[in-house]
Every structure is written in structure tokens, then in C-alpha cells.
Amino acid sequence: MNLRRDVFQAIADPTRRAILTLVATQAMTAGAIAANFDTARPTVSKHIQILSECELLQAAQNGREIYYHLNPEKMKEIADFIAPFAKLWDDRFNTLEAIMNNYKNKK
């Protein structure tokens, strides 16, 4: 059975969210991912399968190993990727505004 999975259903599970955070910064093999969890290896494999079916994870063959990495295109459907970037700059500019207002008042 290979049902088309819904992205939101996929991220409803905390283990699957944790897997996504793991591969956000680097591609990992199923074994390396499973090493981060106490859950049985087949359970982790099942989670990886679900995340792959809904395209949140992408697999890339490298020699004998299969590496999984995050699919940013699909992640865009569930999260505003740009929001943290905007927040970073907004915080920075808020600081600029506060410092310059203070500077003006001191003059």
C-alpha cells in the first residue's frame, strides 16, 4: 500500500518533526538518523518512509549509502521559510532605531 500522504499529517508526529530538524543542516543516512532515537530501527525507517512519500525528505544515493536531506520546496508548504530571516533583520533594525533615538535625545 502506498497512499499519498498529507504533509500536515506527516509533521503531526513529534519523532518525524525531530527527524526533519536533524536533516535540516546536513544529509544523513537512515542509520545515522536512527542512532538519535531510542525507538526501534524499523519504526524510524517507517517514519523516514512517510516523510519521503510526502516529499519532505529527499533521498540521494552516494555510493552504497542513501542519504536523506530536507526538501526546502516542500517545507515551504508547511512553514514560512523566510519568517525567521525577516525576524532576524527586523530585530536588528529595531535595535538600530532604538539606539539612534537614544543618540538623538542625548544631543
Partner 1 sequence: MELKTKIHAEDNKQEIIITRTFDLPLELLFKAYEEPELVAQWMGTKVLQLENRQHGSWRYETAHEGKVVFAANGVILEFVPDQRITRTFQMENSNFPVQLEFLEFESLSPASSRLRMQIIFKSVAFRDQLLQMPFAAGLSMAHDRLQDVLTLNNK
Which residues lie near partner 1 (CB under 8 A)? 14, 18, 20-22, 24-25, 38, 72, 79, 81-90, 92-97, 99-101, 103-104
What distance in Å separates the CA atoms of residue 19 and residue 30, rounded to the nearest whole number? 10
Compute the least distance from the CB of residue 20 to partner 1, in Å: 7
Nearer CB in complex with partner 1: 3/11 = 11
CB 57: neighbour CB atoms within 10 A?
25
Query: In angstroms, rounded to a whole number, what is the distance separating the alpha carbons of residues 58 and 33?
Result: 14
Q: Which is nearer to partner 1, 1 or 85 (CB)?
A: 85
Residue with Cβ nearer partner 1 (8 or 81): 81
Distance CA 8, CA 59 (A): 20
For residue 40, give the C-alpha cell.
Answer: 526501534
Shortest Cβ distance from residue 48 to partner 1 (Å)? 16
Q: State in angstroms the smallest separation of the CB of 1 from partner 1.
A: 30
How far from chain centre, in Å, is Cα 20?
4
